[in-house]
Amino acid sequence: MKKLVYSILPVDGYYTFSQRFLELLKSAVSETFDLSAVIAPLESVFLRFETAYKRERKSEYTAKLAAADEARDRAYLALRHYLVACSYASVEGYKAAADTLLSILKRLGWSMQLASYQTESSRLGNLIAELGQEENAALLTTVQGTAWLERLMTAADAFEAIFQQKLTAEAADTNTSAYRLRKVLQEQIEMSLSWLEVQQKFNPSDKLTTLIGQVDELIAHTMTTARANATRKSAEEEALEEE
């Protein structure tokens, strides 16, 4: 079966895929085709996730986090594009320094602005720490890029402050957050997909073959949409940086 790349799926991507996956499973059930072993546990987790997801879409932190994430994305792209420009500059020392700094960005994640909140935070933290090392800080000074890093640090800190506020509010809430349930939902989806694969291997049927084909189409569509959204977001952000 095709594989889901969960790292590029936003929360709404989890929701849409899970909902449609459940619909496919339920529509395939018949008197001779029992999928209760898959449907029951998956639906249980999904309903909990759905409740949290719909509740959090109305949360005050949703818009705040999106705005703060956009700000840090733009700050990162501003630094990245500045260093790219420096690598072409006919100024003594610029090209060598910029090329070294750009190699760090490429190693840690060139397009980290497209990652999930948590993954981007981790990668940005690593990037800021590495660029702050004495040797790299000197290279930034050479290309007069220190101010761009400081702007990124400010934007990253602002996002983390709001994210921590959100986590604190959720900790005080008796309800489980969609973010925490996402991992549980992912594990249940994987177990469900594995179950289908095992059944097809040891107890194949035309009905199961049809269902797996439908699920593969759903996964392919989900991944195509996620990648297209990520590419569009990247293009829009780069276009804004060029304005």
Roughly how many angstroms between the first and final C-alpha of the chain, as a whole number?
A: 43
pTM exceeds 0.85 for this model = no
Rounded-to-integer distance, Cα 96 and Cα 142, Å: 10
Q: Which of 137, 171, 205 is the last residue of a domain?
A: 171
| Residues 100 and 158 grouped into a single domain | yes
Judge contact between 185 and 15, C-beta under 8 A: no
Question: Has residue 203 been placed in a domain?
Answer: yes
Count of C-beta atoms within a 10 Å radius of residue 75: 23
Q: Which of 155, 171, 187 is the last residue of a domain?
A: 171
Contacts of 110 (CB under 8 A, 6+ apart): 80
Q: Give SS3 for 30.
A: strand
| Residues 152 and 199 grouped into a single domain | no
pLDDT of residue 195: 94
pLDDT of residue 206: 92
pLDDT of residue 128: 97
pLDDT of residue 12: 86
Residues spanned by the domain of 105 = 61-171
* Total of domains in the chain: 2
Rounded-to-integer distance, Cα 216 and Cα 121, Å: 32
Residue 15 token pair: 């929701």
CA atoms within 13 A on the CB side of 146: 11
| Residues 30 and 108 grouped into a single domain | no
Q: Which residues of the chain have pLDDT under 50?
A: 174, 240-243
- How many degrees, rounded to 5, is the angle at CA 54 between CA 113 and CA 179? 45
pLDDT of residue 140: 98
Q: What is the pLDDT of residues 99-140, one digit of tens each?
A: 999 999 999 999 999 988 989 999 999 999 999 999 999 999
